[in-house]
Amino acid sequence: MEFSSKLLERAVNEMAQLPGIGKRTALRLVLHLLKQPKEQTELLTSALLKMREEIKFCKECHNISDVDVCEICANPSRDQSVICVVEDIRDVMALENTGIFKGLYHVLGGKISPIDGVGPSQLNIHSLVDKVKSGSVKEVIFALSSTMEGDTTNFYIYKQIKDCEVTTSAIARGIAIGDELEYADEVTLGRSLMHRIPFESSLKNM
Amino acid sequence: MEFSSKLLERAVNEMAQLPGIGKRTALRLVLHLLKQPKEQTELLTSALLKMREEIKFCKECHNISDVDVCEICANPSRDQSVICVVEDIRDVMALENTGIFKGLYHVLGGKISPIDGVGPSQLNIHSLVDKVKSGSVKEVIFALSSTMEGDTTNFYIYKQIKDCEVTTSAIARGIAIGDELEYADEVTLGRSLMHRIPFESSLKNM
């Protein structure tokens, strides 16, 4: 791609560094900014810079936060003895949307994935194990995605806390509400059969 | 979508202003920036700001440029008497990539589209008509996209210059190289039949 302007080229190249944004999309986005009033570019860049510089991670759960301890951890009405282990902040948002969970979270910041060069030391595992060992936690719920990396991470953490006095659980795998059985993969279907629940429980609404 | 941080929320909302970027994608992009070193955000924002503030439009053809007159317009080896009218800078880049065209361009900056509130006065039509009326132009090639808005814009310009001593032409419409006839729409196929060319001409390579 040949550009008639170095300034444009630099902007497009930087934009194309973002995941899932190719050069063509980057050019479209940058030309859009050029057509809009200057203020829009200023608002965008200042929001990004300010976020990158000032954002904090909750020192309890490592969730993104504007303060040292996030709203969830600081909320006294939440059950401090149940910790749900998730991969990143998007999972916290998804789980919060259900309105079901009233405990605390622990954001790992990723999954163990040797192929991507992510080992246990890059994740917030140490602080979780410490918290569990301190004895204040009654249950740890594993809510990582059900992939090889997710399972590895679950198991790595489980091995370190299994001797503590703590209940460990994993979120249920099975057929999603509204899904047709015939289109489900055999592993999911097999799991949902193995981990079947009393019929009366299945009648309960959220 | 509920955010645990106002800074994050603001960054996501600003990012989601870009065309084709929804809130979820914006969140993914912003979280990516958070994971990368601070320098990447600084490079991105400074490139965007610098571009928005310093970029110029060529005063001859309205192409994006770092200087007052763009490289193409300033190139003495190009044919100053042939002007190819295009919608935006991406079309210039696409046409330049063919290596066929050796004349100048005129970038309109859009198409007449009443539904989007774009009238002739918002486009760079006046300067094109003036250039043609000055008598230095021998041929105007219309290379807008073949849509209702493109055709309207072509016709609007054509009406204003048709009494000048200038040849007007439009790029050929037809079956793309490598395409199968059976999948072509009837309008394109009809046009390519109507505007058939001598067989010898079709043998010529680019």
Complex ipTM, two decimals?
A: 0.82
Contact list in B for residue A19 (CB cut-off 8 A) is 28-29, 32
Residue B129 has pLDDT above 90, yes or no: yes
Encoding tokens for residue A172?
């249920």
DSSP string, A61-115: T--EESSSS-HHHH-TTSEEEEEEEESSHHHHHHHHHH----EEEEE-SS--BGG
SS3 B6: helix
pLDDT score of A205: 66
Rounded CA separation B1/A199 (Å): 33
For the beta sheet containing B103-107, the strands, ordered from the edge strand earlier in sequence to the opposite edge, are B103-107, B79-86, B139-142, B167-170
* Averaged pLDDT of chain A: 91
Cα–Cα distance for residue pair B54/B67, rounded to 1 Å: 10
When pLDDT is averaged across residues B33-45 and rounded to a whole number, the result is 93
* Nearest-neighbour CA in chain B from A199: distance (Å): 33
pLDDT digits (tens, 9 = 90+) for A166-175: 999 999 888 8
Q: What is the mean pLDDT of residues A138-149?
A: 92
Domain borders along chain B are 6-54, 76-171
Percent of chain A with pLDDT over 90: 67
**Structure confidence at residue A4 (pLDDT):** 83
Per cent of chain B over pLDDT 90 is 67
Q: Which neighbouring-strand residues pair with B107?
A: B86
Determine the average pLDDT of the residues in A47-51.
95
pLDDT attached to residue A196: 86
Give every CB contact of residue B59 below 8 A, 6+ residues apart in sequence: B68, B69
pLDDT tens digit sequence for B42-58: 999 999 999 999 999 99
In whole angstroms, what separates CA B71 from the centre of its chain? Answer: 17
Q: What confidence tier does B124 reach under pLDDT thresholds 50, 70, 90?
A: very high
Question: To 10 degrees, the CA torsion angle through B83, B89, B92, B94?
Answer: -150
Task: Specify whether the CB–CB gap between A61 and A73 falls below 8 A.
Answer: yes
Closest C-alpha to A87, from A161, A171, A20, A172: A171
Whether the per-residue pLDDT at B100 is higher than 70: the answer is yes
Chain A hits for B97, CB-CB cut-off 8 Å, are 2
Q: What is the pLDDT of residues B132-141, one digit of tens each?
A: 999 889 999 9
Q: Choose among A30, A1, A37, A33: nearest CA to A14.
A: A30
Mean pLDDT on B142-163: 92
Give the HSE-up count for residue B32: Cα atoms under 13 Å, Cβ half-sphere: 16
Is the CB of B47 less than 8 angstroms away from the CB of A11?
yes
DSSP annotation of A175 = P
Per-residue model confidence as pLDDT tens digits over A89-100: 999 999 998 888
pLDDT above 70: percentage of residues in chain B? 99
The mean pLDDT value for A22-27 works out to 94
B-contacting residues of A 29-58, CB under 8 Å?
29-34, 38, 40-56, 58
- Give the pLDDT band of residue B4 (cuts 50, 70, 90): confident
Residue A24 CA from chain centroid, whole number: 29
Which of A41, A51, A54 best probes binding to B when mutated, by most B CB atoms within 10 angstroms? A51
**Mean model confidence pLDDT for chain B:** 91
Per the structure block, which two tokens stand in for B3? 């955010």
For the segment A125-137, what is each residue's pLDDT rounded down to a tens digit? 999 999 999 988 9
CATH class as words, domain A76-171: alpha beta
CB B49 within 8 A of CB A41: yes
Please give the CATH topology (third level) of the domain spanning B6-54: Helicase, Ruva Protein; domain 3 (1.10.8)
Per-residue pLDDT, averaged over B61-72, amounts to 91
Q: Which helix or strand (DSSP H or E) is residue B140 part of?
A: strand B139-142
CB contact under 8 Å between A66 and B20, yes or no, is: no
B148 near A CB under 8 A: no
Determine, for residues B18 and A25 on separate chains, whether the beta-carbon distance falls below 8 Å: no
Q: What is the phi/psi pair of residue A57, to 5°?
A: -110, 130
- pLDDT, residue A206, reads 53
Confidence check: pLDDT of B1 > 80: no
Pairing of strands B64-65, B56-57: antiparallel
Tell me if domain A6-54 and domain A76-171 are identical in fold.
no
Beta bridge partners of A170: A142
Confidence of residue B205 (pLDDT cuts 50, 70, 90): low
For an interface test with B, give the residue of A18, A60, A67, A87 to mutate (most B CBs within 10 A): A18
Q: Which pLDDT band holds residue B206 (cuts at 50, 70, 90)? A: low
First-to-last C-alpha distance (Å) of chain A: 53
Q: B16 in contact with A at a CB cutoff of 8 Å?
A: no
Q: What is the pLDDT of residues B171-195, one digit of tens each?
A: 988 888 888 888 888 888 888 888 8
Q: Give ∠ CA A127-A132-A138 in degrees, rounded to 5.
A: 145
Per-residue pLDDT, A193:
86
Using the Cα atoms of residue A59, residue A60, residue A64 and residue A69 in order, give the sign of their dihedral: negative
